[in-house]
Amino acid sequence: MQRQIISGYLALALVGCSVGPDYKAPMISLSERFEGGSSTEIGQVNQRRWWRDLNDRQLDILVERGLSRNLSLQSALAAVRVAQGRLAASGAANQQNSSLSASQTRQEPKIGPATTMQSATVNATYVLDLFGGLHRGQQQARAGLQAAEYDVGTARLAYLSTLVGTYIDMRYAQESLELTRQAIKSQQELRKIVQDEFDVGAVAELQVAQAQAALDQVIAQLPDLESKFEASVFGIATLLAEPAGPLLKTLQRGAPQPLARTRPAIGVPAELLRNRPDILAAERSYAAAIAGVGVSEAALYPSLALSGTISTSTAANTFAFGPAFSLPIFNQQSLRGNRQAAIATAEQAEIAWRSTVLSAAQDVQTAQSALSASMRQVARLRAVVDSNRRVLELTKSAYEQGASPLTDFINATQSVTQSRMALAGALQQAASNWLSLQVASGSGWAVER
């Protein structure tokens, strides 16, 4: 009877039975296209270096340096190595085990000749994967490795978003500083004109005070803007894991605010399933959880191992071989609890995948809408700047002819500065929304450096 049982399990091992559910890719219903978008697909974008569309060589250099140095990316890559180790230790690696031991002892009694005893033992065990527990474990480890690899892509996208976003903020702060310095120069020229007129008795002291107050108000804005610029540079230095001093000197040279000339294609919602690394990682985590159900279910069933031992010694040689049968009887409640927990974990993983997909679609839709609005705002503010410049020209001419008061001249000068500052802010927002749309569509996550 015992031989029949063992023969039955050996047959199962040869068939390769694996208990637990087989993995099936999760499904979700998505719209055919984004609101305001087209039905044209964009294909694979994971290798696209989208930041180069900003036409900023300094930014390109910083991104290349950062991708090879960032600590968050290094941590994610270390997690991949951990997953690789787990995969190497799973499956067939758990089926076989062997050891070799040897010893030598020498006895030298006071009476009689000395004797030397030598022995060596070889042990070998092979576990039959009767119900596929080891196979499911290898599936789980492989899916976990793939999820970790996609997590690197998610970390890389997050890093690119932070680095490029901080660079955009830095250039905005720098542009604001430049506009403020230009405004100071204009107010100083105005202050001199009024002072000269006061010296010859053409205007009252009140007008001199008004011009000085306007100048002081602009000068007072400098410290805050300088602090914001330096804070952005320090943030970039941290992202690059390098000292801030040399970088500060480099970035102080100035450059135009980055803004792409073309709008990125967003494709269709279904493409997010293959382009977003967080979705891909969530799908692989779900696959790992499904395999985990098989691991926990296989633990409910008997296990069979074949063991052999060969020993040799000075006295005699021995050999032993036989099966070892294990039946989990007294811990069934615990094992069934583990299986139930594994099923719940798989359900959680599927829900997490669905949530990630829906959030990704929302990210794209929101970023696209925000980019469209910000580009319209940029166009309108350009027109406002042109109008305010025309008003300033007319007001200055009227003031010089005595047909307009000084306050109108001051207000017109301030309006030009304010509208130019507003335009700089709109350009920053447009670049940030453009960046968000690139990240939301999963573009560039596989670029290593």
Question: Which tens digits make up the pLDDT trace of 107-127?
Answer: 666 676 766 666 677 777 777
The CATH number of domain 56-102+116-440 is 1.20.1600.10? yes
Give residue limits of the domains in the chain. 56-102+116-440
Longest dimension (CA), the chain: 133
Classify the phi-psi angles of 132: left when phi > 0, otherwise alpha if psi is within -120 to 50, otherwise beta: left
Question: Which tens digits make up the pLDDT trace of 335-344?
Answer: 999 999 999 9
Instruction: Reduce the DSSP state of residue 222 to 3 states and report it.
Output: helix
In sequence order, which ranges of 320-405 are alpha helices (DSSP H)?
332-400
CB 202 within 8 A of CB 401: no
Look-up: residue for tokens 């020993």? Answer: 311
Q: Residue 120, exposed/middle/buried by CB under 10 A (0-12, 13-18, 19+)?
A: middle
Paired sense of beta strands 115-128 and 303-313, if any:
antiparallel
Q: Which residue has the higher pLDDT, 177 or 95?
A: 177
Q: Which residue has the higher pLDDT, 225 or 76?
A: 225
| % of the chain surpassing 70 pLDDT | 88
Average pLDDT, the chain: 86
Nearest to 133 by CA among 292, 288, 240: 292
Whole-number pLDDT of residue 399: 84
Question: Which tens digits make up the pLDDT trace of 384-426?
Answer: 999 999 999 999 899 888 888 888 888 898 899 999 999 999 9
Look-up: residue for tokens 């527990």? Answer: 133
Residue 12: how many other CB atoms lie within 10 Å: 18
Please state the rounded mean pLDDT for residues 19-39. Answer: 88
pTM for this model (two decimals): 0.84
Does the pLDDT value for residue 264 go beyond 90? Answer: no
Inter-CA distances, 271 with 194, 356, 433, 439, 441, Å:
64, 14, 20, 14, 9
Helix (H) or strand (E) holding 193: helix 133-199
CB 273 within 8 A of CB 279: yes
Does the pLDDT value for residue 103 go beyond 70? Answer: no
Nearest to 433 by CA among 381, 384, 364, 358: 364
Distance CA 136, CA 367 (A): 41
Whole-number pLDDT of residue 15: 47
